[in-house]
Structures are given as structure tokens and as C-alpha cells.
């Protein structure tokens, strides 16, 4: 930018640089998605097409921004963990949030027809983003566990709520019936009234979605002895427990201190 007498206006700009040597966690949320989901007639309580669209956008993020090491999503929300040593956009919070939110929003619109081939977009989907720094692996894991616990709590409630509504109750009646209920109470409602075993519902609904790189065996060529296989790192989508230790022990390379 050329020097001029007007350049002083730059002094009003505020740029927040995120702390070094910390884990950056970016959370992307859908904007007005209650309205968006009603407008596009998403299935209640879960629309698997919409969830898989979100997963496809998260995978695109993972492939576009190589400093992302893990992501977790549920409903219209996705969290992305950047490697501890990342210098992505010089760790400038506003840049990271704006570029990722715009990329995710664009990916959602572009990929829409892959998952909703018979439905046109009736409004523009958009997502906001925020960044938080966490100083340790333990806190990053606690953050991800918090999101997965929320997934379970919200999904169990919403499953009960919409089953009650579909059975003929008004929304107010369904809310009143569920008021003050605990996990076991909701399980009983689902099983006794609707024959639904909550533990047998699809894991994508109960556990959310994880996106990460893992070694996958692939056929790379064929010879006279048959297929030749190699282990390659690929971005995969899974629906697994990330609250306990097993996943992190099996994938200890994901959250490595640089």
C-alpha cells in the first residue's frame, strides 16, 4: 500500500493474534439453521442427508487446510482442532475465522445437490466461526468430550420430543411430558411408548461425526500374484466414542505435542 496522508486510518485496526504454542480450536455454527431446516423440510429429529452434507464439508475443510488434525461435528456445528505449532494465517483470529467460515459456507452450497438432489436451495446457507486457544491436550480432549456429551443429551431429548409430537401430542404437551426427566426416563419413554431402544439408533445421531486422517489399506496395482496393497493416510469419517481413552490411545498421533 502506498504511503499517503490517509494511511493513519490503519492505526484503528485491531488484529487479535492467538497465543503461540497452544491448540487452536475453531467452532463453526450454522446461522439461523432452525429456520433453514424448517424451510428445507429436514426430517425430524435427524436428517441423515443434512448430517452427511456437514461431514462432506468438514472433510473438504480437512483437505483444504492441512494444519487441521481432527474435527468433530453434530447437527449444524463442527469443531476443528489445528496442530499446536500451526502458523495458519500467522495465527490471526479474524483471518482464521473469516476464511474458514466462508469456505465452509461455500462448500455447503456447492455440495447441496449431492445430498439433496431433488431439493433446490431456497435461501443462502451461512456459518459463523470463533476461535479458542487451549494450552494442553487434556483440555482439548475435555472440550471435544463436552461437545459429544451435548450431542447425546440433545439427541436423546429431540428423539423423545419428536416421537411424542408425531404420536399426536402438541409441542407444548411434549415439552411438559419431558420436563425434569433424566436419561433413564427418556430411555423408558422411547422403549415403552415407541419400542425404540436408544442404544440401537444410528451412531451418527448418538455420537456425532469425527473426521481425521488414518492409515487405510488400498490396492495400488495388480501383478501376477494378485492385488498389491499399501497403507496410505486418508481422511476418514467415523462415529465413535471420543470421551473415553481408547480412541485416543489407538490414534495417539492425532494430538501430538509438536
The reply, when asked if residue 75 is annotated as ligand binding, is yes
Q: Could you tell me the three cell numbers for 168?
A: 399426536
CA of 249: how far to CAs of 83, 144, 245, 253, 256, in Å? 18, 15, 6, 9, 12
CA neighbours closer than 13 Å in the CB half-sphere of residue 228: 6
The reply, when asked if residue 241 is annotated as ligand binding, is no
The reply, when asked if residue 47 is annotated as ligand binding, is no
Quick check: 236 and 212 in contact, CB under 8 A? yes
The reply, when asked if residue 31 is annotated as ligand binding, is yes
CA of 99: how far to CAs of 125, 143, 229, 236, in Å? 16, 23, 38, 23
Handedness of CA 209, 211, 215, 219 (dihedral sign): positive
The reply, when asked if residue 250 is annotated as ligand binding, is no
The reply, when asked if residue 152 is annotated as ligand binding, is no
Residues 2, 7, 10, CA angle at the centre, nearest 5°? 120
Quick check: 169 and 161 in contact, CB under 8 A? no
Q: Is 81 left (phi over 0), alpha (psi -120 to 50) or beta?
A: beta
The reply, when asked if residue 94 is annotated as ligand binding, is no
DSSP 8-state assignment for residue 17: B
The reply, when asked if residue 118 is annotated as ligand binding, is no
DSSP 8-state assignment for residue 92: B
Binding residue ranges for GTP? 29-34, 75-76
Task: List the binding residues for Mg(2+).
Answer: 29-30, 76
Per the annotation, where are the binding residues? 29-34, 75-76
Amino acid at each position: 500500500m502506498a504511503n499517503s496522508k490517509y494511511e493513519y486510518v490503519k492505526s484503528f485496526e485491531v488484529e487479535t493474534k492467538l497465543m503461540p504454542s497452544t491448540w487452536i480450536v475453531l467452532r463453526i455454527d450454522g446461522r439461523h439453521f432452525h429456520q433453514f431446516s424448517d424451510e428445507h423440510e429436514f426430517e425430524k429429529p435427524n436428517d441423515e442427508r443434512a448430517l452427511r452434507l456437514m461431514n462432506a464439508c468438514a472433510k473438504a475443510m480437512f483437505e483444504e487446510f492441512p494444519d487441521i488434525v481432527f474435527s468433530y461435528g453434530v447437527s449444524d456445528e463442527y469443531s476443528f482442532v489445528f496442530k499446536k505449532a500451526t502458523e495458519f494465517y500467522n495465527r490471526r483470529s479474524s483471518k482464521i475465522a473469516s476464511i474458514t467460515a466462508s469456505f465452509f459456507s461455500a462448500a455447503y452450497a456447492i455440495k447441496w445437490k449431492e445430498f439433496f438432489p431433488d431439493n433446490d436451495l431456497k435461501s443462502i446457507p451461512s456459518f459463523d466461526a470463533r476461535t479458542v486457544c487451549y494450552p494442553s491436550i487434556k483440555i482439548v480432549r475435555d472440550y471435544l468430550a463436552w461437545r459429544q456429551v451435548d450431542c447425546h443429551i440433545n439427541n436423546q431429548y429431540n428423539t423423545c420430543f419428536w416421537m411424542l409430537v408425531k404420536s399426536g401430542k402438541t409441542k407444548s404437551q411434549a415439552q411438559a411430558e419431558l420436563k425434569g426427566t433424566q436419561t433413564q426416563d427418556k430411555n423408558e419413554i422411547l422403549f415403552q411408548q415407541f419400542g425404540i431402544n436408544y442404544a440401537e439408533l444410528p451412531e451418527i445421531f448418538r455420537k456425532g461425526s469425527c473426521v481425521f486422517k488414518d492409515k487405510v489399506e488400498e490396492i495400488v496395482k495388480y501383478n501376477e500374484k494378485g492385488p498389491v496393497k499399501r497403507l496410505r493416510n486418508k481422511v476418514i469419517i467415523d462415529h465413535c466414542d471420543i470421551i473415553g481413552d481408547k480412541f485416543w490411545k489407538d490414534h495417539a498421533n492425532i494430538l501430538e505435542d509438536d
